[in-house]
Structure formats: C-alpha cells, structure tokens
Amino acid sequence: MLALGAILAATAGFATLGDWQAVYQKFGDGSIGAFIDGGATILNAGVGIDMVLSQTMLTVMAALFAGTTMDTGVRLQRYIFQEFGEFYNLPVLNKSVVATLLAVGSCLLLAFGAGGIDGAGGMIIWPLFGTTNQLMAALTLMIVTIILLRKGKPVWYTLAPLSFLLVMTVFALLIQLKTFFTDGNWLLIIMDIIILIATILVTFESLSVLRKEWSLHKGKSGEV
C-alpha cells in the first residue's frame, strides 16, 4: 500500500498536466519533490487539508521513512558483522561498538568511496537494487515454505512464487550483466557476478533444505 501510494503521488498527484510536464521534463526527473508535491495535491484536493500543511506532512513522512530505513539497514549490517564473529570465532566482532563502526564505515565507503565526495555511490549501484530486493523476497518465501512444510500445511502457494522469483532474479542478473559489460561498468560487473553467485548458492541451498524437509514430511505421513 505504501509503494502504491508513493507511485500515485509521484505520477498522478498533480493538479494539471502542465504541472506534471514541468516536473518530468525528461526521464529520471522528479525525485522526492514529485512525491511531496503530488501527495500534497492529493491531500488538498481529496481531504481538504491546506496545501502548505500537506507539503509539510509529506516532507516529514519522507524524512521519517528515509531515517527508519537507514537505521534498519545499519542495524542489520551490525548483526551480520556480529554473526561473522560468531561463525568465524572472532570475538572482537561480537562487540557492539566494533560491529557498529564497521557497519557505518562500510556504508560511508559505499557512498563516498564509489561515488566521490558528493556521496552518490548509492545511485551508482541502484540498478542492482531490484534484483537483490527480489532475492530477499525469495529468501523470505523459502523460510515461510519450510515453516509450512514442517507444520504439514500446503506449500504450493508459497513455493510457486518462490520458484518464479529465483528464476526471474537469475534471468535479470544475466541481462544486467550483459548491459554492464557493454557499458564497461566494471564495478557493477563485479557486484553483479557476486550477487549472481550468491543467488545460485541460495537456490541450491533452498533446494537441498526443501528436499530434506519434504522427505521428512513424507516419512511422517507414511508412519501415520
């Protein structure tokens, strides 16, 4: 619903066609301003809230969303470093301060190391966001599928989208790899290959776990 609301605000939330054309003069225009102005127009016309107040509300909403997303990302990155410490027997990584500094440092390196002083590194790797996002969705569906299988529940309605996502993610990564190679973008080529390898490993691991759980489930059903 949040994604749908944001799309409507940034694309259809303009008072006139002229306002829309003024914002989207070429591909890639719009940014956060389109969301704020478009959403404010919807609130003003639909609910009757003052335009300035509507713009303020949308600005606060965007800032809060960006802030909470960044906070969540840094926390998850910290947890990953701490799990690395446990897995590889590196006690120093289990310390919250060390893990937090590494998490923040890696974000700064990505933003400023790859993108320069203006911090545009995130925009450079943005083309890979869609595929990595779908890979995370596939992992979530995998966890749900295993839980349902262990509980003896039907799994086809999660297994089908899981299979679709894994196939389409690999397909998208291969298409992007060809595009990056044509453009000579070696940073994205390397990152694409790493993500592709991770996707293949996740796929094989998923198949292995599902096979094992399916065998256990069939065994229990046979005993019953």
40-59 pLDDT, tens per residue?
999 998 889 999 999 999 99
Average pLDDT, stretch 204-224? 71
- Residue 224 is predicted with a pLDDT of 42
31: amino acid identity, one letter: S
Task: Give the whole-angstrom CA distance, residue 12 versus residue 211.
Answer: 47
Residues 12 and 54 in one domain: yes
Task: Give the whole-angstrom CA distance, residue 18 versus residue 32.
Answer: 19
Mean pLDDT, the chain, whole residue set: 84
Residues 7 and 113 in one domain: yes
Number of domains in the chain: 2
Is the pLDDT score of 221 beyond 70?
no
214: nearest Cα among 159, 140, 133, 168: 159
Instruction: Please identify, among 100, 118, 136, the residue that sits at the C-terminal boundary of a domain.
Output: 118
Instruction: Please identify, among 79, 101, 118, the residue that sits at the C-terminal boundary of a domain.
Output: 118
| DSSP letter (8 states) at residue 110 | I
Confidence band (pLDDT; 50, 70, 90) for 98?
very high
Is the pLDDT score of 114 beyond 70?
no
Residue of higher predicted confidence among 116 and 164: 164
Residues 71 and 141 in one domain: no
169: nearest Cα among 140, 199, 205, 211: 199
Domain around 207: 126-223
Is the pLDDT score of 19 beyond 50?
yes
| Predicted TM-score (pTM) of this structure | 0.61
Residues 15 and 112 in one domain: yes
Per DSSP, the three-state class of 24 is coil
Per DSSP, the three-state class of 83 is helix
Task: Give the whole-angstrom CA distance, residue 122 versus residue 126.
Answer: 6
Sign of the alpha-carbon dihedral angle for 70, 71, 72, 77: positive
Residues 82 and 112 in one domain: yes
